[in-house]
Structure 1
Amino acid sequence: MSVVRFGVSLEKELLDDLDEFVKKNRFTNRSQAIRQLIAENTARSKWECNNIVVGSITLIYDHHKRELVHKLHDIQHHYHHEILSSQHFHLNHDICMEIIAVKGEAKLLTELSDKLIAIKGIQHGKLTMSRA
């Protein structure tokens, strides 16, 4: 992949926002930040077009909640073609974090994550997608 240099004109306030974004995210330079922003935008448009994407679903929950783990597994079995792997972490005696690696049509991954996050007892859930 070759690199092409080009100039960009921005209003001072927007440039300040970009510099803050670079600093906050610890990018080495503005170019790296711009690449990241373009990649995120490209991935978002692919989600809307229902292309094949990859991602992760992160869930935080109290594993003592009645039937929660059973419901998580039941839903995941219905989406076994989209789930690549899952990893379970014990954050403390009660709270667990599960990260589920997924690949498939954006619509299906969104549907899967919505179902998982909606389970009673899920304290936090987030789907992150990127282009495949």
Structure 2
Amino acid sequence: MSFKLELLKQRIIELEAENAKLRQIIEENIKREAENTELKSKNDNTVNNNTPNNNTSFSNFNSDADHHEKSSQKKEMNNFLDEARKKSIGENIAFRAFSRQCNKEKKLKKAEQASLNQDQESGTFFSEKIPEITTLKIPPKNFW
């Protein structure tokens, strides 16, 4: 009995370590989202502040090429920011689904443990009611 208790304690320690890692990932994602938002606002401000110069006396024959280059860079930046935002949202959705799965497993284990404790207290303990130690399903690294 004490061996199984030790196994459960060890598993709890492992799960707490994994929980800490996941919390760190959440914090990193939040920081990344904030940075992404900040960069988007800076980009919008830069785009809004780039008003065309009405002084035509200093026009350059390369102005069309410069304008095309700037607009393509602007499109490239916008595409990059959109992809980063989509990836961040996707990671957030995946993490929330993963967290819900973990929470369901925790609730199930708590209910099983409560039932096990109740059986032990009442003296009707059956070895079949000992919950199995299952491994937490962690998504692969490329999932995020």
TM-score relative to the length of structure 1: 0.23
Q: Name whichever structure is richer in strand by fraction.
A: 1
TM-score (ref. length: structure 2): 0.22
| Higher helix content, 1 or 2 | 2
